[in-house]
Structure 1
Amino acid sequence: MSQEKLSGFVETAARESGLPGAAVGVLTGEEEFHACYGVTSLADPLPVDGTTLFHLASVSKTFTATALMRLAAEGKVELDAPVRRYVPELRLSDERAAARITVLNLLNHTAGLDWNLIDPGEEDLSLAALAVKLADLEMIAPPGARASYSQAGYNLAGLVVEKVTGLPFEKAVTSLVLEPAGLSNTFFDLDDVMIRRFAVGHNRDGDGTLRPARPWKAWRAGWRADNPGGGIVSSVSDLLRWARFHLGTGEGVLPAEALRRMRERTVELRAGTLGDAFGICWFLREVDGVRTAGHGGSGNGQFAELLIVPEREFAVVSLANAGPDGGPFNQAVVRWALEHYLGVVDRDPEPVPHDEARAREVAGRYENDAMNIDIAADGLALTLAAGIKPEIRGASETEMPPDHPPAAIGLLPGDGEEYIVTEGGLKGQRGFFTRDDGGAIVGVDLAGRIFTRRPAAS
């Protein structure tokens, strides 16, 4: 596969998606291919290149997990130990859960914690304050009962790193992972970012106009407590180096066996676009008979995707600086690269014809601690809208990413509990509905997160 074909695809897809800029990298064996498109910012444009910094959002979790795996390999952390061994001040809404949650529960999203704390309060933006503030977060399942993607869980994992090393989390990850892996263009601190070329996120107004996204990191500038789950900044060149590290032996950082363990299934996932199972941090998925491990990230107008295929010594990275189309663009890049470099074809399942009775059964409002999902049936189609809760948006002192307007979804063959989004910024996302013991729909999963159904108004 030629460099020209990759560059041509990226340019065409980025233009069609209306992106200001994008950076893509492919690693196949010892060869690397880069394709950069467009500009860092519409307001102050500079060409995107291989060293341009993007906010990686949740791809940060791969660094946090790797740091904890190094501490485990050194005998300083036990993955099956309760978190309270390392964070004795941990408080949760359920005391029994607080005593039972293990480090592994945090790393594979089975702690039972809801998605995230939205506002840490004005008085303390640190990880140290997190253990106490987590008492305000709802428990959505008993520890170990099932997986539900949790930003709060990874931020708590970062506090474990901080406690065990005695260093600020960011310095600990730098010394444990970034420096020995040779990642010289990967940072947490905005002071490091601002003296280098970096991409500005963009969001679309209601009229379709792209505008710079503020704050640069969502949700809130300066909140260090969100760094373990979503605070890292890097370039396509460094992310390919990071992929090469995880495809290799881990020399100087981790035993090869520890890297392999991160890619072993720890809990199964159902009907998810992101994966069939969680390893340690990684979403694991079989595509066209080939096993992959990956992680994505969505920040404020910036989107990142990293996928590795260990058995083929292959990786693809895609970074984009506009929402909501950056996410579907990244997914299109990953699929194109898998097909054109490996001959691996990833196709969405086809929904069944619209069934109004089944559609009305699942229609309603669903919520977690931060967001609402509204699923509506109008007789012809079933739609899904997702947005930040109005009370949270109204109380915020900074701009937040725009909501996802209603977009068509289709129910998949089978029992009618699985679905796929077929248009809009969430296009391709899959999930499923959950029932109680009486058979009533009580929840929906989207992007690995649980949303509970709100009772209908009487």
Structure 2
Amino acid sequence: MSQDQSLSAFVGKAAEEFDVPGVSVGVLRDGQEFFASHGVTSIDDPLPVHERTLFPIASVTKTFTATALMRLAAEGKLELTAPVRRYVPELRLADEEAAARMTVLNLLNHTAGLDWHLIDGDEGDGSLAAFVAKLAELRVIAPPGTRASYSQAGYNLAGRVIENVTGLSFEKALASLVLEPVGLANTFFDPDDVMVRRFAVGYNRGEDGTLRAAQPWKAFPAGTRGNNPGGGAVSSVSDLLRWARFHLGTGDGVLPAKELRRMQEPTVPLRASTLGDAFGICWFLREVDGVHTIGHGGSGNGQFAELLIVPERNFAVVSLANAGPDGYQFNQSVVRWALEHYLGVVERDPEPLPYDAARAGEVVSRYESDAMDLDIATDGSRLTLAVGIKPEIRAASEADMPPDYPAAGMAFLPGDGDEYLVTEGGLKGQRGFFTRDEAGAVVGVDLAGRLFGRAPEAP
């Protein structure tokens, strides 16, 4: 069986196994491209998915934003180590010292100390300026530069840096700096550009197992431009493989090769994280079976995206899926299969420890971010983890939101006792760790690179 046929066979089988309506996958190996798609763009109005079908790529957008900032830095128009306020003097935060100290690099490697996302930051005219004006309401979770915590808000603020430095809207600046010179002709932000092309409708699975069309279509509704830098792009497998070629290359006159390589070098370590072993400049850096990889994922409303690049093997894989939460598991299975099938690189899951009642008692509690609650509980024989959007936020929203992740098994990993693995459910395979204060008490938990603090009323 040829590589094309093997890829198509696996993608079709996996899409049916995870019951995802439409998927699109691409592999780049030594300059040769392989594509495989399966299913339809929409259950109600079906069209076959192909490599140019558009999917919201959510946080994979951050790689475009970071590359645009790197180009501005290479051209001497900004300094990565400079305070953000040099370029966004209007910035105000709840912590004035943090606002003064925060650098552009802190935004790019998620060490700015900002919570994940300002959930109502799209009020007003939906612009980046309006988003930044509300940042004073966002919790500062750590002094800038002291720890990594994945932040959508930080990348939206980075988008405002681009606007103020270039004098253009973020979308026009990104097109000029990155999209057009790299040749990404099938990547968009405006729904008006999307609706005249083939695109995939997202779906969420209800408690009864049925799929329901996700609304809003993108992770953030139309008119909320303030979220575009962190997650607003729409693209295709064909364009994302071209994007991978660019980051595997010499910069194509857009960015010096040394700056491309700089983006792939560690800037801050990550502990027990599914995202990777470290953040580069935007990229998640991860060693798999002794091989260095860079990548980024994205999750939207019923849509999941995954991009993984192996620089030393001139290899990349892209996987896009239009159902939640199962699209995440589909994408992970595709990446693992592609690494093993094309490169002989095998990713192995860590082996969890048996249930420990004493350890469980230390961590059972509610934890929270600005937008979500995370509940860890025990029935005396196992630990479970549940994650959901805060009820007050869900109730206040006029748009449909993705369903919560119900309680699913988790277990501690060997080591110091503070690292864990989710063993089942939609978050299966996610790793994280618990944070302790100076007295040794558990005060927080990291999941998907985001810090959830122990709720004040929690024991």
Instruction: Give SS of 2:275's match.
Output: coil
How much has 1:119 moved relative to structure 2? Answer: 1.0
Partner of 1:361: 362
The 8 Å contact of residues 241 and 316 in structure 2, kept in 1 or not, is answered as yes
Using the alignment, how far apart are the partners of 2:113 and 2:221 within structure 1? 24
Instruction: Give SS of 2:406's match.
Output: strand
How much has 1:130 moved relative to structure 2? Answer: 2.2
Q: Does 1:352 align with 2:335?
A: no
How much has 1:60 moved relative to structure 2? Answer: 0.2
**Deviation by residue 1:216-260 (Cα, 9 ceiling, x = unmatched):** 012433210000000000000000000000000111210100100
The 8 Å contact of residues 365 and 458 in structure 2, kept in 1 or not, is answered as no
The 8 Å contact of residues 19 and 322 in structure 1, kept in 2 or not, is answered as yes
What does residue range 14-25 of structure 1 map to in structure 2 within 5 Å?
Answer: 14-25=15-26
Partner of 2:186: 185
Using the alignment, how far apart are the partners of 2:135 and 2:379 within structure 1? 39
Partner of 1:176: 177
Instruction: Give SS of 1:180's match.
Output: helix
How much has 1:457 moved relative to structure 2? Answer: 5.4
The 8 Å contact of residues 127 and 155 in structure 1, kept in 2 or not, is answered as yes
Q: Does 1:9 align with 2:10?
A: yes
The 8 Å contact of residues 8 and 37 in structure 2, kept in 1 or not, is answered as yes
Partner of 1:133: 134
Instruction: Give SS of 1:183's match.
Output: coil
Partner of 1:33: 34
Instruction: Give SS of 1:250's match.
Output: coil
Partner of 2:115: 114
Supply the AA of the counterpart residue of 2:226.
A
Supply the AA of the counterpart residue of 1:106.
L
Q: Given the two structures, how large is their TM-score scaled by the length of structure 1?
A: 0.99
Using the alignment, how far apart are the partners of 1:343 and 1:225 within structure 2? 42
Partner of 1:417: 418
Q: Does 1:376 align with 2:358?
A: no
What does residue range 225-304 of structure 1 map to in structure 2 within 5 Å?
Answer: 225-304=226-305
Contiguous gaps of at least 5 residues in structure 2: none
The 8 Å contact of residues 118 and 219 in structure 1, kept in 2 or not, is answered as no
How much has 1:215 moved relative to structure 2? Answer: 0.3
Using the alignment, how far apart are the partners of 1:270 and 1:442 within structure 2? 16
Q: Does 1:400 align with 2:401?
A: yes
Supply the AA of the counterpart residue of 1:35.
A
Using the alignment, how far apart are the partners of 1:6 and 1:316 within structure 2? 11
User: Percentage identity across aligned positions?
Assistant: 75
Stretches of 4+ moved more than 6 A in 1?
Answer: none
The 8 Å contact of residues 421 and 432 in structure 2, kept in 1 or not, is answered as yes
Using the alignment, how far apart are the partners of 2:315 and 2:264 within structure 1? 15
Partner of 1:160: 161
The 8 Å contact of residues 10 and 37 in structure 1, kept in 2 or not, is answered as yes
Partner of 1:315: 316
Using the alignment, how far apart are the partners of 1:399 and 1:311 within structure 2? 42
Using the alignment, how far apart are the partners of 1:404 and 1:221 within structure 2? 25
The 8 Å contact of residues 56 and 297 in structure 1, kept in 2 or not, is answered as yes
Using the alignment, how far apart are the partners of 1:455 and 1:68 within structure 2? 38
**Deviation by residue 1:408-454 (Cα, 9 ceiling, x = unmatched):** 11110122100011111111000000111111111000000000011
Using the alignment, how far apart are the partners of 2:32 and 2:233 within structure 1? 26
How much has 1:293 moved relative to structure 2? Answer: 0.3
Partner of 1:340: 341
**Deviation by residue 1:61-116 (Cα, 9 ceiling, x = unmatched):** 00000000000010001000000110000000011111110000000000000001
The 8 Å contact of residues 239 and 317 in structure 1, kept in 2 or not, is answered as yes
Q: Given the two structures, how large is their TM-score scaled by the length of structure 2?
A: 0.99
Partner of 1:209: 210
